[in-house]
Structure 1
Amino acid sequence: MATPEIMKDLGFSKTDIGLLGAIFSWVYASMQLPAGWLIDRYGAKRVYFVSIILWSVATALTGMANTLVMFIIARVFLGIGEAPTWPTGAKITSEWFPKKERGLATGFWDSASKWGPAISPPILIFLMVTFGWRGLFFATGLIGIIFGVIFLIYYRSPEKSRKLTEEELNYISSDHEKENEKEKEKIKWGTLFTYRTVWGLILGYFCTIWIWNIFLVFLPLYLIETYHLSLTELVTYLVDI
């Protein structure tokens, strides 16, 4: 949503905007595997905290950028910071829910990635109109940092939580012993690509996320330039979409 103002202010072309979107996507995708290793090695809490802080600082730094190179650097760090968040969400879900309940729990937090863009346009455009496009990035970066600190202070794994009864802890960890035994079995990465299910997931997600990113990166700009929508009208259309 800030794209039209950024292009006007800094003289960026549509190609430049596409480049920034592509760089973020490549960095985000390439960091998925090391992110998973880091989560298993250092734990979900630590990695998620570092992830959200890096993601938020990169967002705030975007508000300070004046050149395409500075934007690219900010987008690289944004991709690195954002990459561990979904794997960490899956890890936390596996720690806090028995296997039979994880699908529903995952559906709740995953749907937030769709609800967020649906309900945020009025808030973000209000921030941009009030404080400018740079203020928009500063504000959202600050919100992320505050959330990261709250998470670090209050999040506990089930075995460290003081609010769980012994019965609740046993229920949550009912599947963990079997899963820990399976984790000890070494699986070569190459063998994963021999499964049709894996290829189905990869291709399905590729098609979905490609369309999703087109909407996120270019839809507001397209509506403003092609249909000459005002910011108020843009909010209405984006929320409806």
Structure 2
Amino acid sequence: MRNISSLELKLHASAFIIGLGLSAPAYFIPIFLQELGASYTLIGIMGSIRSTPYAVLPILTGFIMSRYDMRKLYVLSSILSSTGFILLSISQSYLEIGLANFLLGISMVFYWPIAESIIAEFFPEDSRWKVYSSFSASWSTAYFIGPIIGGVLAELADLRTLFGISGIICGVAVPLIYLMGELRLKNISKIRFKDGGLVGIWPLYVMVFLFSIGMACLILLAPSYFYEAGWSNFMVGTVFTVFGITRTIGYVLLSKLKKIDEARIITLSITIQSIVIFLLVYARPEIIFPTLALAGLINGAYFVASFSVISKKVQMGYRSISIGFLESIIGLGFIIGPAFIGLLLDYLNVWVAFTITSLVILSALPVMLVSKNIR
């Protein structure tokens, strides 16, 4: 019989370690490119390269999970992220940087989607909500600690050193994941999308796509924008630490509730995300710090609500497929978003770029009106 408590502990610990390795340098990759002379367009393209695997592969992994030990899929997140950061630390050309970003993108395919599917498929229904919340708190805690550590290392040493250390951290999770034991799903003889409840929540996928464009703007372009506005590496790291702290608070607060209104949370999060993106035009610390604090809070709440919709509306055995598709949609937003917004920043101005992006996010609200399965 599987030791659920032990599995949960190893899952949370590995999520924290990998999350720490991924987050410490994440916001400094755009700055690294900018120091090499890259334009916003090229920075956006590099972000899209990193996001491309996440737009395609999660849904495929959702289908193959029934055939393979999910532990072996999950460990790839540690191995590939370690390799990607080490390559980035020694890169000498945009081609090598692009390859490193591509490897990092693939590593993320085996991070969140696999871990979330383990929760959805291997934990008892009555504890699934609690496990997901604590898992989210684990990786998001790493994501608010990581940027400040990254900022300090970037100031004390340099960005290449930061990338190398992050690669080592990611690799530490490998033995821990193997100690989780075999995690193999039962085969689903025939996939019936309509019967599994996958089609019924299509509005959720549309809203997640539009919401993720705002996420991509914050994570992949805002750091360079702040840096160009005169912010130090330490300040950039600190503001995203604040973002991470409030995101964790969002996870923790929601986990304390006995019941949540998914539709209300999603609607409110979309509205606030739109406002947050618009306020980026000011690039002043006294505005950006509270703005990103609010952004972190609603980002945490939004994806808890989305997971809850899947957990309630999609049948057992199909949830890993639905999670994979959801994560692919997020990846698609991270492909289109950075390139689109980067072009707007290069060829128009920040007011137009962030206003258009804000309106794109806000366009998700009408979708909620037709979301009978979510409301």
TM-score, length of structure 2 as denominator length: 0.52
Residues 188 and 59 of structure 1: is their aligned pair in 2 closer, same or farther, counting only changes over 3 Å?
farther
CA contact (8 A) 2:151 2:238 kept: no
Equivalent residue letter for 1:122: I
> What is the rounded CA distance, in whole Å, between the counterparts of 2:121 and 2:182 in structure 1?
7
Equivalent residue letter for 2:181: R
Q: Is 1:4 equivalent to 2:7 in the alignment?
A: no
TM-score, length of structure 1 as denominator length: 0.78
Stretch of structure 1 that moved more, 104-113 or 52-61: 104-113
RMSD over aligned CA atoms reads 2.7
Residues 149 and 131 of structure 1: is their aligned pair in 2 closer, same or farther, counting only changes over 3 Å?
farther
Deviation of 1:117 (Å) = 3.0
Moved over 4 A (4+): 188-194
Q: Is 1:147 equivalent to 2:147 in the alignment?
A: no
The equivalent residue for 2:181 is: 156
Equivalent residue letter for 1:50: L
Structure 1 gap ranges (5+): 160-178
Q: Which has the higher contact order (CA 8 A, sep 6+)?
A: 2
Equivalent residue letter for 1:120: G
> What is the rounded CA distance, in whole Å, between the counterparts of 2:198 and 2:181 in structure 1?
37
Q: Is 1:225 equivalent to 2:251 in the alignment?
A: no
CA contact (8 A) 2:151 2:236 kept: no
Deviation of 1:90 (Å) = 2.5
> What is the rounded CA distance, in whole Å, between the counterparts of 2:195 and 2:101 in structure 1?
32
| Aligned length, in residue pairs | 216
Deviation of 1:85 (Å) = 1.8
Deviation of 1:58 (Å) = 1.2
The alignment-based identity, stated in percent, is 23
> CA-to-partner distance for each residue in 1:192-227, whole Å, 9 max, x for gaps?
798231x1221122122221121111222222222x
Q: Is 1:87 equivalent to 2:91 in the alignment?
A: no
Equivalent residue letter for 1:79: G
1:36-185 correspondence runs (5 A): 36-94=62-120, 96-152=122-178, 154-157=179-182, 184-185=188-189
Deviation of 1:61 (Å) = 0.9
> What is the rounded CA distance, in whole Å, between the counterparts of 1:128 and 1:187 in structure 2?
48
> CA-to-partner distance for each residue in 1:30-82, whole Å, 9 max, x for gaps?
01122223432221111111232012211221112121111111222222222
Q: Is 1:207 equivalent to 2:234 in the alignment?
A: no
Residues 95 and 195 of structure 1: is their aligned pair in 2 closer, same or farther, counting only changes over 3 Å?
closer
Equivalent residue letter for 1:99: E
CA contact (8 A) 1:63 1:135 kept: yes
